[in-house]
Amino acid sequence: MAARKGLGRGLGSLISDRQAPIASPPPNNTDEEMTSHENARSRVTDLPVEQIVRNPRQPRQTFREDSLSELANSIREHGVLQPLMVREKPDGMYELIAGERRLRAAGLAGLEVVPVTLVEATDLQSLEIAIIENLQREDLNPIEEAEGYRELAAEFKLTQEEIAKRVSRSRAAVANALRLLTLPDEVRALLKEKHISTGHAKALLGMTIPQEQIILARRIVSEDLSVRTTEKFVKRHGDIPTKPRATKPDLPKDFLRDLTAKLHQHFGTSVRLAPCKTFANGKKRKGFIEIDFFSNDDLERVLSVMGIDLAED
């Protein structure tokens, strides 16, 4: 899988030996762009597979079996064309920094020895290389990508702008990716497993109640809802007047939240409950309840829960 174009300064500045780079370094680095990481040294050699231990902080957690099998077949025929990156551990073993997919495929191909770029790197340098190398892969799923950004921010105290420069993304792209981590666990799992798309997930962020996000995500899967349909649904339920007048809701927020959750559970679908509101002049605005359904069968189910029998005269 080809790396994304535009390396940024992060990975390129970590390795001074450019004989076997992971990706092309950025052109015309200025003195201001150089960091202390440039002092890391590297050399290419061969190592037994059994001496290489995997990085416990590897950002990528998902490896497709069919893709690994294809790579293993290629390695059997052509060998490992791009060296793995490792660093020596005090116990004489070598910790993998970048190239776990190649290492796994080499094992499937039956290789006992693989080419590596041996790097002298600190723990933080090793982590940065591993994260950035993985973030540049096209098949990294959105949640793993977001977790990589979060790791960079947490370990290196980097701002979103600094992260964006290191991975050659816009700051908005980094910010939007990190927002995905605020979704409920179930929704993140659906996104990670590609049951819903990133577009669906971004639309779900427009909903403020986690249970609503979960229910709609389930509907996206079961009803094969498009991103556009999902966006329309969220917009319809999240419209806010452009110039709201001063009002006071007749129901406390905590009570409204608990009641909405009970309605979700009772009807098994998204429910929007808006209380009556009192304006500053004493006038009232009516409240309403919206109960969502996605098919005629679903409507009959909801009506049955409400005690309405369509068969009755």
Residues present in the chain in total: 313
Residues sharing a CB contact under 8 Å with residue 299, sequence separation 6 or more, in sequence order:
293
CA 71 – CA 1 distance, rounded (Å)? 10
Residues sharing a CB contact under 8 Å with residue 42, sequence separation 6 or more, in sequence order:
15, 16, 17, 20, 85, 117, 118, 119, 120
> Which position among 100, 144, 145, 212 bears the catalytic label?
100
To the query of whether residue 193 is one of the catalytic residues in this protein, the response is no
The tokens of 27 are what?
A: 């052109």
Whether 109 and 81 have beta carbons less than 8 Å apart is answered as: no
Q: Which amino acids are annotated catalytic?
A: 100
